[in-house]
């Protein structure tokens, strides 16, 4: 199955005095992926997300939303960004410090993104090979 591999590394705020709890949310294909909450001013997540893709060619223009939330009595969205898969080459890992669009706070998040693509033709080729081997074994 094809997958988008996203790793959230380190969250940094322009105001270094930030001490509240924060977490990352990723939205793709009407599903939500949420990181663990980090607090105390050290926001090193090092958290991996494996997001399934139904069809890489049909979903290249679909948006991935990434949001930063403050965890409190009432959770608040701090910042967000979005992008499509068009800018990501299959099999290449992109690692960037992304500046988010400010809602309440200015921040950056270091992300690694990779598309793991397994061509279906190769899978069929192996199935055919396996089928031939099975037939030889039976005769």
Which tens digits make up the pLDDT trace of 71-118? 988 899 999 999 988 878 777 888 999 999 999 999 999 999 988 776
Predicted pLDDT of residue 1: 67
CATH topology for 3-138?
Immunoglobulin-like (2.60.40)
List, edge to edge, every strand of the sheet that includes 21-28. Answer: 31-34, 21-28, 63-71, 76-84, 101-102
Give 22-71 pLDDT, tens digit per residue: 999 999 988 999 999 998 777 888 888 999 888 777 888 889 999 999 99
**pTM of full prediction above 0.85:** no
């Amino acid at each position: 199955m094809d997958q988008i591999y996203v790793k959230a590394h380190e969250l940094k705020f322009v105001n270094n005095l930030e001490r509240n709890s924060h977490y990352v949310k990723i939205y793709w294909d009407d599903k939500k992926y949420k990181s663990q909450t980090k607090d105390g001013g050290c926001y090193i997540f090092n958290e991996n997300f494996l997001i399934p893709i139904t069809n890489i060619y049909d979903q290249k223009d679909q948006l991935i939303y990434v949001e930063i939330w403050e965890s409190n009595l009432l959770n608040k969205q701090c910042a967000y960004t979005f992008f499509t898969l068009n800018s990501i080459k299959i099999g290449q890992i992109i690692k960037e410090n992304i500046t988010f669009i400010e809602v309440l706070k200015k921040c950056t998040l270091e992300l690694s993104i990779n598309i793991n693509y397994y061509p279906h033709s190769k899978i069929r080729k192996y199935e055919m090979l396996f089928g031939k081997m099975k037939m030889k074994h039976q005769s």
